[in-house]
């Protein structure tokens, strides 16, 4: 087998117990699995995702419910779950689905493509069309009930969490900069005027697949829900920059109105990464997120 790490062996043993009829020749633990799940490729045909913590198991279970309800409603391929299992406590152990074509559009790959305006414009159009379709689906249509939460309240809670959990790890001038940023944003009434819609929730590099110069699929719907469209825009800006966002606006003009909020979100994504890493006891992800604030 291509990958015989201890973690791979453990996951394969789990699959053998839970799916005794599943046969395969090769298995590889993907190095770019992300912060919340380990990802195992089986025969380059199946993808199995294993949550790294109880919190992320709950997120993955949410995705397992959402994905079937989105089938046929979006202009790009999305995962179609075919396998799953839970432990004795009812927590999700894994989710499996047929592998979508393509590779993640990581920043390095995007930089290689950026010189070809035609290709980049095609990618922008694909993503704009996807977001237009996703944002137009009423959350109630896929069984999501409005919780009454709003982005402003959520980010006010982030500020409190940053102060309590992250400020002890940050240098003084970095703490002051975060305080100023939040003070300006949270007290700007106009900034927080938007209509909630169905959002992807993590619309960044690792979750956008590309093949032959076009977007071939969107993955990881763990954070999909009724929310702020600026969250999806912010992830795009953080991933590919302002110039790419301008291309997206050409095909989804209304998204431009969420730009000020998206910029605020972008400025704090690293701290959110560090916060979740603390929650999940993930030192590597924590250090990566907090590094610029030390």
pLDDT of 252-265, one tens digit each? 999 999 999 999 99
What are the pLDDT digits (tens) for 123-176? 999 999 999 999 999 999 999 876 656 899 999 999 999 999 999 999 999 999
Strand (E) or helix (H) holding 103: strand 103-104
In degrees, rounded to 5, the angle at the alpha carbon of residue 34 between the alpha carbons of residues 29 and 39 is 30
pLDDT at residue 283 is higher than 70: yes
pLDDT of residue 147: 61
Average pLDDT, the chain: 94
Residue 92 backbone dihedrals phi, psi, to 5 degrees: -70, 130
pLDDT of residue 31: 80
pLDDT category of residue 34 using cuts at 50, 70 and 90: confident
pLDDT of residue 3: 46
Give the mean model confidence (pLDDT) for residues 28-46. 88
pLDDT of residue 65: 96
pLDDT of residue 22: 92
Contact 197, 181 (CB under 8 A): no
pLDDT of residue 1: 42
Q: Give the length of the chain.
A: 294
pLDDT of residue 149: 65
pLDDT of residue 121: 97
How many Å is the Cα radius of gyration of the chain? 20
pLDDT at residue 199 is higher than 90: yes
Distance from C-alpha of 22 to C-alpha of 96, rounded to nearest angstrom: 11
Distance from C-alpha of 283 to C-alpha of 125, rounded to nearest angstrom: 37
User: pTM for the whole thing?
Assistant: 0.93
What are the pLDDT digits (tens) for 94-116? 999 999 999 999 999 999 999 99
Contact 71, 80 (CB under 8 A): yes
More confident call, 7 vs 100: 100
Distance from C-alpha of 129 to C-alpha of 116, rounded to nearest angstrom: 20
pLDDT of residue 145: 78
Structural domains for the chain = 6-97 (3.30.200.20), 103-293 (3.90.1200.10)
Residue of 67, 75, 28 lying closest to 217 (CA atoms): 75
Residue 87 backbone dihedrals phi, psi, to 5 degrees: -90, -175
CB atoms within 10 A of CB 6: 7
SS3 assignment, position 137: coil
pLDDT of residue 35: 83
């Amino acid at each position: 087998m291509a990958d015989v790490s201890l973690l791979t062996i453990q996951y394969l043993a789990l699959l053998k117990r839970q799916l005794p009829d599943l046969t395969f020749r090769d298995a590889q633990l993907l190095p770019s699995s992300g912060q919340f799940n380990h990802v195992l490729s089986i025969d380059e045909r199946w993808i199995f995702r294993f949550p790294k913590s109880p919190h992320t198991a709950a997120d993955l279970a949410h995705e397992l419910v959402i994905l079937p309800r989105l089938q046929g409603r979006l202009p790009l391929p999305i995962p179609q779950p075919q396998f799953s299992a839970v432990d004795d406590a009812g927590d999700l152990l894994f989710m499996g689905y047929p592998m979508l074509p393509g590779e993640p559009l990581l920043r390095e790959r995007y930089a290689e493509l950026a010189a070809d305006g035609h290709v980049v414009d095609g990618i922008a159009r694909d993503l704009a069309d996807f977001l237009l379709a996703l944002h137009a689906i009423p959350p109630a249509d896929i069984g999501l009930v409005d919780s009454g939460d709003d982005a402003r309240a959520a980010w006010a809670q982030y500020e409190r969490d940053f102060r309590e959990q992250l400020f002890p790890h940050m240098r003084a001038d970095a703490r002051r900069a975060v305080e100023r940023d939040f003070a300006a944003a949270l007290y700007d009434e106009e900034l927080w005027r938007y209509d909630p819609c169905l959002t992807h929730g993590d619309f960044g590099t690792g979750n956008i697949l590309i093949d032959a110069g076009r977007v071939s699929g969107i993955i990881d719907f763990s954070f999909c829900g009724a929310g702020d469209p600026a969250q999806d825009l912010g992830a795009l800006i953080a991933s590919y920059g302002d110039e790419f966002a301008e291309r997206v606006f050409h095909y989804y003009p209304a998204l431009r109105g969420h730009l000020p909020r998206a910029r605020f979100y972008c400025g704090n994504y690293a701290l959110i990464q560090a916060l979740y890493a603390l929650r999940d006891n993930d030192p590597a992800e924590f250090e990566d997120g907090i590094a610029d604030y030390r």
